[in-house]
Amino acid sequence: MWKVIILKGIMKSVLEWVVIIAVAFVLSVIIRNFIVDTRIVPTGSMLPTIQLQDRLIVDRLFYKYSTIKRGDILVFTAPEQAQEDLDLVKRVIGLPGEKVEIKNGKVYIEDKALNEPYIMAPPDYNYGPVTVPPNSYFMLGDNRRASKDSHIWGFLPADKILGRVWIRYWPLERFGSLGKVPEPYFTQAVQK
């Protein structure tokens, strides 16, 4: 009789653990696929803002309820033209309907130069002018001379966006947000 009671107790405990593990697994899948995700940065295309092997938390849900702004850092599935297997991390530079041009080491939006203290070095190429199509974005890495981005593969369709980078959580000494874009974002100089 006491063996039956012990066996029932063990079975109840095992069943409770199975339910707890199953619920934890389902919650993990839901959170990771729909709310937040983590990424390890494998390339130097966003240097100096994001270092190699930085760990990032990506907002996959709440960014959908706010407007994507110039300067946001996004994680996205690489467009087909990029011929990349990995998801990419780049900065939003051009918004839908805007004219973008890169020349003389500066990025111009609607003929106004951007103030970009976050870049590694000015671009050493010319591009455009082009107009960003509806529901698309022009994306650049902060390491302009070593980034395969929109100046190579074109515009990012909005449906490829997986989320907005929220914070860097590793290494601990650099824990926190990745910084805001400068105010004002445009320099006073007009393109010549």
pLDDT digits (tens, 9 = 90+) for 31-83: 677 788 888 988 899 999 999 999 999 998 887 778 899 999 999 998 888 88
Give the CA dihedral 81, 95, 77, 34, nearest 10 degrees. -160
Q: What type of residue sits at position 19? A: V
Both ends of the chain: CA-CA distance in Å?
Answer: 94
pLDDT at 173: 92
In this prediction, residue 24 carries a pLDDT of 81
In a domain, 161, yes or no: yes
Q: How confident is the model at residue 108, as a pLDDT? A: 96
Q: Which residues of the chain have pLDDT under 50?
A: 189-192
Residue 10 placed within a domain: no
**22 within domain boundaries:** no
Q: Which residues are catalytic?
A: 45, 90
Give the count of beta carbons closer than 10 Å to the beta carbon of residue 192. Answer: 7
**pLDDT attached to residue 84:** 84
Domain count, the chain: 1
Q: Print the domain residue range for 69.
A: 38-190
Q: Could you tell me the CA-to-CA distances from 169 to 43, 95, 101 in Å, in that order?
A: 17, 28, 34
pLDDT of residue 2: 62
d(CA 190, CA 109): 10
Give the pLDDT confidence score for residue 169 in this predicted structure: 92
- Indicate the SS3 state at residue 95: coil
Average pLDDT over the chain, rounded to an integer: 88
Distance between CA atoms of 36 and 75, rounded to whole angstroms? 12
Specify whether the CB–CB gap between 167 and 57 falls below 8 A.
yes
What pLDDT is attached to residue 30? Answer: 73
CATH number of residue 153's parent domain: 2.10.109.10
